[in-house]
Amino acid sequence: MANTERFSFELISPYVRLAHDYITEINKQLGPAYCVDHALHYFKSGEGHYIVDGRSYALAPGMVFIIRPGVTFSFTAKRGTRLHMLYSMLTAS
């Protein structure tokens, strides 16, 4: 018997609303900013500083940050360099 039910992404919670592979400009500084959704920031390459909820971290390749909605974050690339990051936003329905 064939399944005739229709699939809906609204039934999945949480779901990925946005996914992006991002290489920053040299000396990029972003923020302070905040997300309305959960966010996952994965740094593939580069060095710099990341501040989340008032705590500062030295960025290095392989670092991952999971940000709750409404939490303030910012990042800065090390002088003369770029950051390569993957980020996604996860929305709960």
Instruction: Give the range of the structural domain holding residue 38, as residue numbers without chain letter.
Output: 14-91
Q: Evaluate if residue 88 carries a pLDDT over 90.
A: yes
1 located within any domain: no
66: domain CATH number is 2.60.120.10
Residue the block writes with tokens 């971290």: 57
Asked if residue 5 is part of any domain, the answer here is no
Q: In this structure, is residue 4 part of a structural domain?
A: no
Flag whether 34 is in a domain: yes
Residues 28-53, mean pLDDT to the nearest whole number: 94
Has residue 3 been placed in a domain?
Answer: no
Cut 0.95: pTM above it: no
40 CB contacts (<8 Å, ≥6 apart)? 64, 65, 66, 67, 87, 88, 89, 90
Kindly indicate the confidence band of residue 14, based on its pLDDT and cuts at 50, 70 and 90. Answer: confident
Position 3 scores a pLDDT of: 61
Question: Is residue 68, in this structure, part of any structural domain at all?
Answer: yes
Number of domain units in the chain: 1
Question: What is the CA 73 to chain-centroid distance, rounded?
Answer: 10
